[in-house]
Amino acid sequence: MRSTALALAIALACTPLTALAQGAKVTSPVELAQRASELKPGEWVWAPEISPEGPVVVYVDLTRQVADIYRNGIRIGVSTVSTGKPGHETPTGVFKILQKDRNHHSSTYNNAPMPFQQRLTWDGVALHAGGLPGYPESHGCVHLPYNFAHELFGTTSMGGTVIVQGRAGAPVKIPAAGVLSPATVEGLPQGYQPLQSTYRWEEEEGAEGPLAVVISTSDQEMVVLRNGVEVGRSRVELPGPPSATMVATLTVDAQGAAHWSLVPLPGHHKDDTHAADATALSRLRMPHGMLTRLKREMAPGTHVLITHARVSAETTAVPITVLAANE
């Protein structure tokens, strides 16, 4: 009996604490919501069958220390996390998954294991399995429960979108009405009068990879990036009052209808006084050639960032981070 107890103690000592975190798999949105509201540090809930296909977006809420996982605009998982401690804060913004490594080891912190790593920046910020004390204690990465990190690793894809924000909100779903074409309140296409100006798109036909669009309401300019590299730029007009910064992800439902899944990013660029405007994309005007090209190139998973921050040639020189903010 003593030898058995000793063997068990040794096994537990050699097992990462993250592997002992509690998780639950459920099958309905109601049960998912109920379990998600009761999570304690190290716990998670997972229901991928609620939305089996479509683009995956990860929302990391630094305030709540929780990550919400959405597929095709529908929440399929929730997990507690631990993010950067004071002095090593996790950067906020909209990121693309740059690298996936199931058995990654840190080149900075004494070869420390970082299972199921999903890199967000080349300077060391990533999602991976790690300690979960119930408060921010990492050196900038987003720590996840071990088994949840394993599930998420098998669900996301290279180039997938990860949003890190102080207080992430649940997405609002609106009809896409032909992707970027104007729409009526009912979601039906309406008359469109394109801008009479030039645009630029420099990319070879057949290029592949995730597409991201950044629209600056301050500059009235749009920048299109693929795999973090600028491929297009155009003048745009977005009449009406400024909108709070928000991210719109293109999704397609089971009937094949396109929708925008919108989530506001409060606190960015001091725009707390502005409300998130769900009609912004339907009021957007651009040259006809740019609109035609975007409609042809956009696919489920493409995201559009609308911000009042300025854009310039320099802002697209840094790969990956589509939006970064320290506020």
CATH number, residue 305 = 2.40.440
Q: Which of 165, 190, 219 is a domain's end point?
A: 165
Q: Are 126 and 176 contained in the same domain? A: no
* 141 belongs to the catalytic site: yes
Q: Which of 165, 191, 219 is a domain's end point?
A: 165
Q: Are 238 and 160 contained in the same domain? A: no
pLDDT at residue 109 greater than cutoff 60: yes
* 128 belongs to the catalytic site: yes
Residue 193: per-residue pLDDT = 62
Q: Are 10 and 156 contained in the same domain? A: yes
Confidence bin at 327 (pLDDT 50/70/90): very low
Q: Are 96 and 231 contained in the same domain? A: no
Confidence bin at 322 (pLDDT 50/70/90): very low
Q: Are 119 and 199 contained in the same domain? A: no
Q: Specify whether the CB–CB gap between 74 and 253 falls below 8 A.
A: no
What are the tens digits of pLDDT across the range 2-34?
Answer: 443 444 333 334 434 333 347 888 888 888 888
What are the tens digits of pLDDT across the range 59-107?
Answer: 999 988 999 999 988 899 999 999 999 888 898 888 889 999 998 887 7
Residue 72: which of 200, 173, 199 has the closest Cα?
173
Which are the contacts of 260, defined by CB distance < 8 A and separation ≥ 6? 173, 174, 175, 176, 248, 249, 250, 251, 281, 304
Pairing of strands 142-144, 126-129: parallel
Q: Are 122 and 244 contained in the same domain? A: no
Arithmetic mean of pLDDT over the chain: 78
Q: Specify whether the CB–CB gap between 276 and 305 falls below 8 A.
A: no
Structure tokens belonging to residue 294: 């975007």
Residue range of the domain that includes 281: 172-325
CA 41 to mean position of chain CA atoms = 22
pLDDT at residue 192 greater than cutoff 60: no
Q: Are 155 and 191 contained in the same domain? A: no
Residues of the chain above pLDDT 90, percent: 26
Torsion of CA 130, 135, 141, 146, to 10 degrees: 20
Confidence bin at 39 (pLDDT 50/70/90): very high
What are the tens digits of pLDDT across the range 214-266?
Answer: 998 888 899 998 877 889 999 988 877 777 788 888 888 777 888 888 887 76
Number of separate domains in the chain: 2
Residue 168: per-residue pLDDT = 52
Residue 180: which of 73, 272, 258 has the closest Cα?
258
Q: Report the alpha-carbon distance of residue 229 to residue 189 in Å, rounded.
A: 31
Residue 312: per-residue pLDDT = 62
Q: Are 122 and 143 contained in the same domain? A: yes
Read off the CATH number of the domain in which 149 is found.
2.40.440.10
Residue 92: per-residue pLDDT = 85
Pick the catalytic residue: 14, 88, 128, 143?
128
Pick the catalytic residue: 14, 139, 141, 150?
141
Q: Are 139 and 207 contained in the same domain? A: no
Which are the contacts of 191, defined by CB distance < 8 A and separation ≥ 6? 182
Q: Which of 142, 165, 188 is a domain's end point?
A: 165
